[in-house]
């Protein structure tokens, strides 16, 4: 097809379009949805019995705030990244990853204080229920944020998909942190942190497949 024919064809389809809302507006809408889902999850499974003790633990407060920041930051970056040229610096997309890394580092440091890190992590009982809680809470917000990103025009599907997934997973794990009464850091690392990190990597790979299609 010649350029002239292509232009004529595109012009013939040039119906009026409503410009997309700003990423912060779309993020705010999504946050409302995510907070409602987390609230429903906590209501359904019940707030952890030892919540008073948890909220007096500085490490718990710091990691919970960090997860919330990662959730909001990754949602904002994912939705901004979905609009061509809107993200001023490509380095910004590493910030949520740095936040996730910081959470993992804090947990590892806490695990290391209880003994040899490898043996503590390996001897931690198998409690996959926490992983399923996280995924269960995250699936709705993940679906919504991917739809929101897709409604824009993502050029970099790897980063958009992985950060969208990370934002939903961070909200999911925030819910799990408020439900799960287990205070061992090895448990939190194995069954709260790792499922989020691994699923984010899986979303990065899936985004690569979408980009190639």
Partner 1 sequence: MRRAQTGDEDAYARLLALLTSVTRQYARGKSGAVPWVEDVVQETLLSLHRARHTYDPSRPFAPWFYAIAAHRVVDVYRRERRVALREQGTDVLPEPVTMRRIDRVGEVDMDAVRAALAALPARQRDIVEGLKLRDESVKELAHRLGMSQSAVKVTAHRGYQALKKLLGVKPL
Residue 83 found at the interface with partner 1 (CB under 8 A): yes
Report, in Å, the least distance between residue 155 CB and partner 1.
4
Among 85, 89, 118, 213, binds partner 1 (CB under 8 A): 85
Counting contacts by CB under 8 A, is residue 92 touching partner 1?
no
Kindly report the CA angle at 164 between 207 and 132, in degrees rounded to 5? 95
Rounded to whole angstroms, the Cα distance separating 117 from 180 reads 22
**Is residue 45 a contact partner of residue 38, using CB atoms and an 8 Å limit?**
no
By CB under 8 A, residue 58 contacts partner 1 = no
Closest distance of CB 171 from partner 1, Å: 25
**Touching partner 1, residues 98-137 (CB under 8 A):** none
d(CA 71, CA 31): 9
* Euclidean distance between CA atoms 198 and 166, whole angstroms: 10
Backbone angles phi, psi at 56, to 5 degrees: -100, 0
Q: How far is the CB of 95 from partner 1 (least distance, A)?
A: 19
Furthest CA-CA distance within the chain: 71
Pick the closer one to partner 1 by CB: 22 or 122: 22
Least Å distance between CB 75 and partner 1?
17
Beta strands, E only, 33-123: none
**Binding residue for partner 1, selected from 62, 153, 198, 201, defined by CB under 8 A:** 153
- Count of residues binding partner 1 (CB under 8 A)? 26
Nearest Cα to 64, choosing from 208, 160, 145, 180? 180
Q: Site residues (CB under 8 A) for partner 1? A: 1, 3, 6-8, 10-20, 22, 82-86, 152-153, 155-156
């Amino acid at each position: 097809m010649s350029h002239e024919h292509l232009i004529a064809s595109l012009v013939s389809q040039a119906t009026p379009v409503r410009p997309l809302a700003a990423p912060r507006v779309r993020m705010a809408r999504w946050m409302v949805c995510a907070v409602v889902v987390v609230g429903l999850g906590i209501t359904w499974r019940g707030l952890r019995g030892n919540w008073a003790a948890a909220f007096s633990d500085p490490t718990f407060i710091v990691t919970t705030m960090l997860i919330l920041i990662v959730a909001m930051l990754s949602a904002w970056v994912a939705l901004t990244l979905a609009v061509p040229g809107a993200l001023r610096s490509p380095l910004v997309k590493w910030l949520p990853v740095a936040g996730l890394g910081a959470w993992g580092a804090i947990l590892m440091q806490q695990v290391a204080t209880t003994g040899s890190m490898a043996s503590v992590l390996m001897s931690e009982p198998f409690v996959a229920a926490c992983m399923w809680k996280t995924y269960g809470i995250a699936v709705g917000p993940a679906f919504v944020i991917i739809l929101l990103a897709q409604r824009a025009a993502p050029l970099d599907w790897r980063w958009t998909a992985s950060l969208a997934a990370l934002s939903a997973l961070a909200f999911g794990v925030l819910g799990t942190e408020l439900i799960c009464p287990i205070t061992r850091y090895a448990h939190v690392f194995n069954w709260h942190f790792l499922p989020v990190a691994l699923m984010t990597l899986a979303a990065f790979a899936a985004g690569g497949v979408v980009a190639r299609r």
